[in-house]
């Protein structure tokens, strides 16, 4: 598409927030404002694409005329399509090779159903790699020697999970870590599953036989996405635990809470696909990290506790 050309394509979905559960029907219309006197096209297509994106770290070496070798490190971005739906919106008629659109406004409706087995969109921050991303793409196909006109819109797909079967009280599991001064931290979650907009409740036990002075304890709830090649950690919420600054008591046992933001979070999940004979996967899990900052050398440490994140279905919302 040349710099002198203009294109105005609007995709209007039946959900303004562009959020869909698997198995739902997606409908809407394409609005195209053509500013050309006569635009010649071979076809107009709407594509729904699901991609698994990841990065690899590469390097390239070069040698100059003096024999000096330099190595450049760079990041290579990969986008693996694992799902595609193509909907023809307009094509030439009566055996013609192309269609001609006069200047003006054009509208095409569309409708399709989402499969039940799609993996969830990555959120928050679906631009960070690795990720699962879905988008619609309007393609105005032109002759082979001219670039196609395209317009892309991101939207979100979520699974329908039922949290009730995981809400039964399970055996309490404590996670433990200790530093060189025998300062021992134990933590267990007070619920098996959390959902956005609710509190993450946990119990802390602290044994401090040498009465080491603790500067503070920070609680960090984070999302971890990783593939075989890369990973991304996203902090969802963090806070210093209250009333623990300069703590040096012998023992502590107390419940604490973190309010999880009421935003869409990719549920704990994993997904694998094949592309050109190679297998690719992405996993999403969550952790509660407790970071102890204490006085002294090499006395800071952290404890990680796995957290299961689910979603509330439409009926529960």
Domain end call among 116, 137, 158 = 158
Residues 13 and 145 in one domain: yes
Residues 141 and 41 in one domain: yes
Average per-residue pLDDT for the chain: 88
Closest to 246 in 3D by CA, of 210, 215, 218, 217:
215
Q: Kindly report the number of other CB atoms within 10 A of residue 215's CB atom.
A: 16
The pLDDT assigned to 77 comes to: 94
219 touches 239 (CB < 8 A) = yes
Residues 181 and 205 in one domain: yes
Residues 177 and 298 in one domain: yes
The pLDDT assigned to 316 comes to: 42
Strands 214-226 and 231-240: antiparallel
Mean pLDDT of 22-46: 89
pLDDT digits (tens, 9 = 90+) for 167-204: 444 567 899 999 888 999 999 999 989 999 999 999 99
Q: Is residue 250 part of a domain?
A: yes
The pLDDT assigned to 146 comes to: 59
Q: Is residue 316 part of a domain?
A: no
**How far is residue 83's CA from residue 98's CA, in Å, rounded to a whole number?**
28
Tokens of 34: 């053509």
Lowest-pLDDT range of 130-139, 140-149, 218-227, 233-242: 140-149
Residues 244 and 153 in one domain: no
The HSE-up count of residue 173 (CA atoms within 13 Å, CB side) is 8
246 touches 151 (CB < 8 A) = no
Q: Is residue 234 part of a domain?
A: yes
- In the predicted model, is pLDDT for residue 205 greater than 80? yes
The pLDDT assigned to 165 comes to: 47
The pLDDT assigned to 2 comes to: 39
Q: Is residue 233 part of a domain?
A: yes
Phi, psi (degrees; rounded to nearest 5) at 29: -145, 155
Residues 301 and 258 in one domain: yes
15: CATH: 2.60.40.640
Phi, psi (degrees; rounded to nearest 5) at 15: -120, 115
Residues 100 and 194 in one domain: no
Domain count, the chain: 2
Helices (H) and strands (E) in the chain, counts: 0, 18
Model-level pTM?
0.85
Residues 108 and 190 in one domain: no
Residues 94 and 208 in one domain: no
Q: Is residue 3 part of a domain?
A: no
pLDDT digits (tens, 9 = 90+) for 292-302: 998 877 788 89
Q: For the chain, what percent of residues have pLDDT higher than 70?
A: 91
Q: Which is more confidently placed, 313 or 117?
A: 117
Residues 151 and 178 in one domain: no
Q: Is residue 237 part of a domain?
A: yes
Residue 81 sits in which domain range? 8-158
Residues 22 and 154 in one domain: yes
**How far is residue 180's CA from residue 141's CA, in Å, rounded to a whole number?**
66
Domain end call among 128, 158, 188 = 158
Q: Is residue 2 part of a domain?
A: no
**How far is residue 187's CA from residue 290's CA, in Å, rounded to a whole number?**
9
Residues 147 and 178 in one domain: no
pLDDT digits (tens, 9 = 90+) for 138-170: 888 876 545 666 778 899 999 987 554 454 445
The pLDDT assigned to 6 comes to: 52
Domain end call among 142, 158, 174 = 158
The pLDDT assigned to 225 comes to: 97
């Amino acid at each position: 598409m040349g710099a002198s050309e203009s294109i105005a394509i609007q995709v209007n979905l039946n959900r303004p927030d562009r959020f869909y559960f698997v198995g739902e029907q997606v409908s809407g219309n394409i609005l195209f404002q053509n500013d050309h006197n006569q635009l010649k096209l071979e076809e107009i297509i709407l594509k729904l694409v699901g991609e698994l994106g990841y990065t690899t770290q590469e390097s390239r070496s070069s040698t100059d005329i003096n024999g000096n070798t330099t190595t450049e490190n760079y990041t290579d971005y990969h986008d693996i399509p694992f799902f595609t739906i193509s909907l023809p919106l307009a094509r030439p008629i009566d055996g013609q090779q192309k269609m001609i659109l006069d200047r003006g406004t054009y509208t095409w409706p569309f409708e399709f159903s989402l499969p039940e087995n799609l993996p969830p969109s990555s959120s928050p921050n679906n631009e960070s790699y690795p990720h699962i991303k879905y988008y619609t793409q309007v393609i105005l196909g032109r002759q082979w020697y001219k670039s196609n006109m395209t317009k892309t819109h991101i939207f979100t797909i979520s699974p329908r999970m039922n949290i009730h079967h995981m809400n039964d009280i399970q055996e309490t599991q404590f996670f433990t870590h200790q530093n060189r001064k025998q300062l021992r931290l134990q933590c267990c979650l007070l619920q098996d599953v959390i959902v956005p907009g609710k509190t993450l409740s946990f119990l802390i036990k602290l044994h401090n036989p040498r009465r080491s002075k603790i500067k503070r304890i920070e609680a960090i709830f984070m999302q971890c996405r990783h593939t075989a090649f890369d990973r991304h950690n996203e902090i969802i919420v963090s806070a210093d635990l209250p009333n623990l600054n300069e703590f040096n008591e012998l023992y502590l046992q107390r419940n604490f809470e973190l309010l999880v933001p009421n935003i869409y979070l990719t549920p704990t999940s994993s997904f694998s696909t094949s592309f050109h004979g190679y297998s690719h996967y992405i996993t999403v899990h969550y952790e509660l990290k407790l970071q102890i900052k204490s006085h002294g050398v090499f006395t800071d440490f952290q404890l990680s506790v796995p957290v299961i994140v689910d979603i509330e279905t439409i009926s529960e919302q």
